[in-house]
Amino acid sequence: MTRIEGIATALITPFTEEGQIDREALKKHCNFLIEAGVNSLYILGTTGEVFLMNSRERKLVAELVVEYVAGRVPVFVQIGSMPTAEACELAVHAKEIGVAGVGAITPYYFNASQMEMKQYYLEIADVLGDNFPLYLYNLPACTGNDLLPETVAELAEVPNIVGIKNSMEDMRRLCRLIDETPADFDVIQGCDTLLMPGLIYGARGSVSGNSNVFPELFVGLYRAVQEKNYEKAKGLQLLINKVARILKNGAHLAYFKKALEYRNFKPSFTRKPLLDITEQEAEILQREISHFIKYDLEPIADTLRE
């Protein structure tokens, strides 16, 4: 089974101003990330505005990304949904179109018990079969439901539940997940500002939203940690922290899309009810991005290409 390892970008979904999926922009963005060296793509998650799409659109985006990527890197699809039956349907579709694996956000909105969340994952795992990887995905700040380490440890015993994307800003939780699950269970860091310590402690990789805009920083940090060049890794972590601040760390997805304009991409929009940033916000963002590129990124560009 193919696993998430290294830098997996949590892919944005480009929309036109009218709210339609922008196929041209999606293809260009996939190429940009692959050429920057990311190890895989994680699509249709929070950063991908997945819960502003219907099931048909989610399937279409998955099909388009698989077509555009054409096997150059593994593609993982977030298929979590309410109800469970839809999550299972999306999981089967993802497997049929040839993705490397799937992830599933916990149940959301309704308060779900640990038993209910466990059953949800067991049903998804069952429809996929033992040899197709499923990643758990915990983001309680958005879902209202926290998948606890003891439940994760129980689910880790299922043959095709191979890991978890943990997006909490809590290093203690990440350490518990690594400590209390089997050695071959992949704990994936979902918090960019804790990327370096997470990797050093034992996280297998990162699913990163901020890497949509500056993938080279994340690829460089991962490689530096692999080479045990911790001084270089720390420097890149500081730059990632600065990027996360400038881009609001994914709290306002329009910042990712507007920032990409300043990296020579065509305009892309969020889907309502999410709104694009104001003219004043855009002016501030442009200044900050331009300053970052000139004074932070360009001086180290050659070392990142090595």
From the candidates 42, 120, 137, 255, which is the catalytic residue?
137
Query: Would you say 206 and 195 are in contact if contact means Cβ atoms under 8 Å apart?
Result: yes
Cis peptide before 273 (omega within 30 of 0): yes
From the candidates 59, 165, 257, 258, which is the catalytic residue?
165
Tell me the H-state helices in 156-212. 171-179, 195-201
Largest CA distance in the chain: 52
Convert 223-290 into a string of H (helix), E (strand) and C (coil): HHHHCCCHHHHHHHHHHHHHHHHHCHHHCCCHHHHHHHHCCCCCCCECCCCCCCCCHHHHHHHHHHHH
Q: 19: helix, coil or strand?
A: coil
Name the nearest CA neighbour of 274 among 87, 11, 13, 80.
Answer: 13
Using the 8-state DSSP alphabet, how is residue 142 labeled? Answer: H
**Pairing mode of beta strands 101-105, 6-10:** unpaired
For residue 8, CA distances in Å to 32, 34, 45, 209 come to 13, 10, 12, 9
For residue 33, list its beta bridge partners.
none
Sequence-separated (6 or more) residues with CB below 8 Å from residue 284: none
Q: In the annotation, is 109 catalytic?
A: no
Q: In the annotation, is 262 catalytic?
A: no
**Pairing mode of beta strands 134-138, 6-10:** unpaired
Active site residue ranges: 137, 165
